[in-house]
Structure 1
Amino acid sequence: MENLIILGAGGYGRTAAETARAMGVFGRVAFLDDGCTGTDILGPCTDYIRFAGKFRWAYPAFGANALRAAWLEKLAAAGYSLPALVHPRAYVSPTADIRPGAVVLALAAVGACAVVEQGAIVNMGAIADHDCVVGACAHLAPGAIVKAGNTVPAQMKIESGTVLERGAAFLPLGGQHV
């Protein structure tokens, strides 16, 4: 079995670890974190270089989209493989494309021909309907619904309870939908 190191041991890090364990692919899941303590925390996030030879896989479990994007680049440059984490209790269409570094959590749904780009989060209970694109390091919060054919821009967060109707448009700077 493979080994996975997760950067960030807070709530999102623990949820990512639960997803990774539920997949049945990773024999060992450990953490690097700058503030949390525990027996499964190996050191601060800056120790990622030290563990590159011991852990093939790494995932940056940071809720801040820009921070997650920066860490994905650092981890890839250090030689880590980036897993696509998909909880077995999520529904993902066989025609969907879940890219490395993305995560689809329990009870989420990703429809036919949808794309979840690198570093994107489809959180618990969120839905990315058919033919959607969830941009790199974007985040669908729990219960967010993105209806068919929409594209969520890179690093945008769609908040809980938001429903993006078909054909939703985004302002050039992101952050707001109209």
Structure 2
Amino acid sequence: MILNLLNFCYRKLLPLIIICLANTDLQAQIHPENASTKSKLTFDQNTDLTIYENLGFFRKFKNTLTFYNNKLEMSFSGNLVEQGLANSFISPDLQLQAELELTYKLRDNLSINSYGKYITKPLNNGGNGQTRYNSLFEQSEIGLEVKTELQKNIQLEVGDKILLDNNNLNLKSPMRVYTRLLKKF
């Protein structure tokens, strides 16, 4: 049993732990003499925490590699996600997540964003997730959205997304259309 646990930690968790501990900021400037073809590659680590009062929470330990070009941004993230329900007697789910995001700027205040996320079954709790198909929490999904800045601190997002089943990743799930209006302070 201990051998199985060590094998699991070696295959699943060790690569993520190494990425988390490698706190390095990589930046490369390609063609710095011409600002219109300026490109940059960055590695970033941060933690996102979202709490829903009396409902639950999720915390995401993000490791992101991003390539910026004049109008194009591509980023890949490998994450460890902890999420759970507020009134649950079960410990929070620990899951691995991979994200890919592509953003293309049409104008300074208008961009198109496509993304895909895959989250594993919980590493603990016998593989049974507490927050499956709850769109408030992290899910496997693909989506496309249009973002525009209406005023200096007001942003509008309109898009659609499909939540995917982690067991077979079928695309027969219903498409969800959403609109977000964000005010920055």
Using the size of structure 2 for normalisation, the TM-score is 0.26
Q: Which has the higher contact order (CA 8 A, sep 6+)?
A: 1
Name which one, 1 or 2, has greater alpha-carbon Rg.
2
TM-score (norm 1): 0.27
